[in-house]
């Protein structure tokens, strides 16, 4: 198990850190201000984003997430880990490098399972950052943590599929550039549990697709990307829009979720690092009861505990990434499940301590803490709640003795 970084990666880390200092952190407030000054929060993407994307592309900081070397940077998961962590330090950063969820996961699906036609039509513009995409799996009417509960129907009718269903938490659906959804639903309700589901490409402008509303997260609308509730009413798409084939939904989901999950974890560690940095800087400069907060024992305890949690989570992320690279996502499933539980929880812990150390400022938007907290909180639920992952970990542990 070798976690060393090659000179190539060290170089990328350096460039990326420099880019963050130069272009990302100073523009976080610019982004928010542009958003407020728009016609409305959903009408456009703040122009700073496209400006920064150009710069990132120029510097070769583009599509780093994609291990495939034909389409992407060709980095392994382990190589990508420190880079993705850095991007996770700012909520506006990942998109600037075309490394944001859910587009990365969707691109990965198309690279692995897409037909040539699908790649040409959707993958290329996504890789170029010209369009955005969403992923429509979760449903309001069932506990979607158990994916066999998914009830949307995808029915073959001649050369077309007809899609009906209600989805929510399709992140990115609000983005005016979002053109395509990958929809999961049942094509084959009579097959065995793991072969009933399929994935299909549905352009958002197809008749019958309706974004009912955008869902907030702890008061944040996450505009202009947002989280959509979408109804599909007799939506017809060409049969060739199916991805890989009928009944492959589960298999694709497994392939998609491994990298998607670990990318979230890498970013969460970056968020936690930034929160710790904010906390340290602040407590060195605030005085209460005759001493700086940094000199108070409880605050020092928070800092130490935070450093300990981050270090351990990072090592586990690296191990999971290393295993995905060497023995494959399937063999790495315990490690992926473990880090998917750990990373959001430690990020929440660290951010929460930072909030407490900052006092009232911490819950406001003067610092990125509250927004990072809300974002991290969703990741104890999204891509499988903690409990489902723990269930899986325990099952694999017990199997050793059965």
* Residues 126-185 contacting a second copy, CB under 8 A: 138, 140, 142-146, 149, 168-169
Distance CA 369, CA 365 (A): 8
Choose the binding region for a second copy from 105-113, 155-163, 246-254, 369-377 (rule: CB under 8 A).
369-377
Cβ 379 vs Cβ 339: under 8 Å: no
Nearest to a second copy of 119, 377 (CB atom): 377
Q: Three-class SS of residue 258?
A: helix
In the DSSP assignment, the letter for residue 199 is E
Length of the chain: 402
For residues 312-341, which are near a second copy according to CB under 8 A? 312-313, 315-316, 319, 334-335, 338, 341
Which ranges of 162-296 does DSSP label H, i.e. alpha helix?
249-283
Cβ 145 to a second copy shortest distance, Å: 6
Kindly tell me which residue out of 121, 208, 305, 325 binds a second copy, with binding defined by CB under 8 A: 305
Cβ 151 to a second copy shortest distance, Å: 12
Nearest to a second copy of 121, 325 (CB atom): 325
The residue written with tokens 């199916």 in the block is 242
Residue 277 interacts with a second copy (CB under 8 A): yes or no = yes
Cβ 266 to a second copy shortest distance, Å: 16
Nearest to a second copy of 153, 305 (CB atom): 305
For residue 164, the cross-strand partners are 153
For residues 379-398, which are near a second copy according to CB under 8 A? 380-382, 385-387, 389-395, 397-398
Cβ 116 to a second copy shortest distance, Å: 35
**What is the Cα gyration radius of the chain?**
21
Nearest to a second copy of 98, 378 (CB atom): 378
Kindly tell me which residue out of 36, 191, 239, 304 binds a second copy, with binding defined by CB under 8 A: 304
Distance CA 387, CA 380 (A): 9
Q: Which residues contact 258 (CB under 8 A, 6 or more apart)?
A: 324, 329, 332, 333, 336
Q: Print the binding letters for residues 33-72 with a second copy: x by CB under 8 A, - otherwise.
A: ----------------------------------------
For residues 199-258, which are near a second copy according to CB under 8 A? 215-221
| DSSP structure string for 358-373 | HTHHHHSSSSSHHHHH
Cβ 307 to a second copy shortest distance, Å: 5
Cβ 317 vs Cβ 343: under 8 Å: yes
Nearest to a second copy of 1, 159 (CB atom): 1
Nearest to a second copy of 77, 98 (CB atom): 77
CB burial of residue 31 (10 Å; 0-12, 13-18, 19+): buried
Distance of CA 377 to the CA centre of its chain: 13
CB atoms within 10 A of CB 205: 8
Residue 192 interacts with a second copy (CB under 8 A): yes or no = no
Residue 356 interacts with a second copy (CB under 8 A): yes or no = yes
Kindly tell me which residue out of 92, 257, 271, 303 binds a second copy, with binding defined by CB under 8 A: 303
Cβ 360 to a second copy shortest distance, Å: 5
Distance CA 386, CA 378 (A): 11
Cβ 354 to a second copy shortest distance, Å: 12
Nearest to a second copy of 132, 389 (CB atom): 389
Distance CA 110, CA 244 (A): 9
Residue 293 interacts with a second copy (CB under 8 A): yes or no = yes
Cβ 272 vs Cβ 347: under 8 Å: yes
Residue 401 interacts with a second copy (CB under 8 A): yes or no = yes
Residue 99 interacts with a second copy (CB under 8 A): yes or no = no
Cβ 181 to a second copy shortest distance, Å: 17
Identify which of 354, 337, 342 has the alpha carbon closest to the alpha carbon of residue 397: 337
Distance of CA 303 to the CA centre of its chain: 27
Cβ 313 to a second copy shortest distance, Å: 7
Cβ 360 vs Cβ 281: under 8 Å: no
The count of residues interacting with a second copy (CB under 8 A) is 89
Cβ 158 to a second copy shortest distance, Å: 35
Distance CA 236, CA 86 (A): 41
Structural tokens at position 10: 């060290």
């Amino acid at each position: 198990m070798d976690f060393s970084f090659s000179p190539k990666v060290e170089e990328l880390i350096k460039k990326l850190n420099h880019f963050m200092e130069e272009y990302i952190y100073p523009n976080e407030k610019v982004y928010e201000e542009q958003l407020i000054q728009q016609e409305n929060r959903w009408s456009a993407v703040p122009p700073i984003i496209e400006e920064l994307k150009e710069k990132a592309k120029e510097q070769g900081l583009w599509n780093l997430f994609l291990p495939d070397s034909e389409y992407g940077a060709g980095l392994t998961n382990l190589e990508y880990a420190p880079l993705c962590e850095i991007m996770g330090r700012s909520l506006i950063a990942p998109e600037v490098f075309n490394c944001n969820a859910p587009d990365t996961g969707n691109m990965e699906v198309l690279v692995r399972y897409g037909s040539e036609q699908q790649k040409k039509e959707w993958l290329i513009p996504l890789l170029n950052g010209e369009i955005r995409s969403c992923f429509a799996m979760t449903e309001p009417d069932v506990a979607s943590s158990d994916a066999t509960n998914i009830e949307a129907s995808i029915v073959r009718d001649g050369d077309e599929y007809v899609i009906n269903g209600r989805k929510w938490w399709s992140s990115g659906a609000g983005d005016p550039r979002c053109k395509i959804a990958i929809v999961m639903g049942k094509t084959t309700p009579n097959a065995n549990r793991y072969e009933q589901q399929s994935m299909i490409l549905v352009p958002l402008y197809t008749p019958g697709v309706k974004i009912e509303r955008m869902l907030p997260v702890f008061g944040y609308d996450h505009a202009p990307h947002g989280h959509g509730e979408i109804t599909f009413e007799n939506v017809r798409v060409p049969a060739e829009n199916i991805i890989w084939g009928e009944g492959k939904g589960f298999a694709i989901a497994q392939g998609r979720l491994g990298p998607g999950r670990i990318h979230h974890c890498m970013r969460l560690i970056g968020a936690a690092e930034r929160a710790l940095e904010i906390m340290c800087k602040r407590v060195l400069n605030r005085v209460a009861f005759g001493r700086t907060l940094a000199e108070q024992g409880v605050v020092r305890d928070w800092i130490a505990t935070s450093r300990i949690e981050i270090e351990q989570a990072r090592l586990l992320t690296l191990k999971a990434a290393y295993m995905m690279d060497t023995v494959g996502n399937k063999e790495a499933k315990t490690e992926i499940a473990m880090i998917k539980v750990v990373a959001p929880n430690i990020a929440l812990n660290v951010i929460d301590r930072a909030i407490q150390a900052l006092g009232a400022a911490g819950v406001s938007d003067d610092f990125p803490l509250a927004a990072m907290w809300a974002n991290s909180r969703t990741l104890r639920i999204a891509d499988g709640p903690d409990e489902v992952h723990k269930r899986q970990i325990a099952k694999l542990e017990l199997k050793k003795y059965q």
